[in-house]
Amino acid sequence: MRDQRTLLRRQGRAPLSRKASMSSVNRALALPAVLLLAGGLLAVSLPASSKAATTTTTLCNSQTAPVGGGAYTIGNNEWGSGALECITTDGSADFTVAKCSIAKARDGAPGGYPAIYKGCHWGEQRL
């Protein structure tokens, strides 16, 4: 067998029964590379799946809802206009004005004011 390997090397061909091997340096670099790749794939897939699971809540006129795990309250407060105003939230400590039909003069009282707060607001308390 040894003579056959020597003959093959002289002819410029590799022996047929050669095992593939990794050096200790390559082995040491391979594990962190695989873990980094797996972590990247996990990080990319998690936000997509968690976004799909969220629900949106719509608050119109003068409705309120707890957000941020109950730490805050968001409230839509159409005030003195009678026009439709709605805000939406996904449960995070934020909101978006989705619809607003309020048309009031700039120098008068507001027609509505959506808000986010923690603590007391007109008798309702969130601590």
Alpha carbon 70 to its chain's center? 19
pLDDT in tens, 54-108: 789 999 988 889 999 999 999 988 887 888 999 999 999 999 999 988 888 888 8
**For residues 83, 84, 85 and 88, what is the CA-based torsion angle, rounded to 10 degrees?**
170
Per-residue confidence at 112, pLDDT binned at 50, 70, 90? confident
Distance (Å) of CA 43 to CA 29, 53, 89? 21, 16, 24
The residue among 124 and 112 whose pLDDT is bigger is: 112
Q: What is the pLDDT of residue 88?
A: 94
Sign of the alpha-carbon torsion through 44, 51, 72, 79: positive
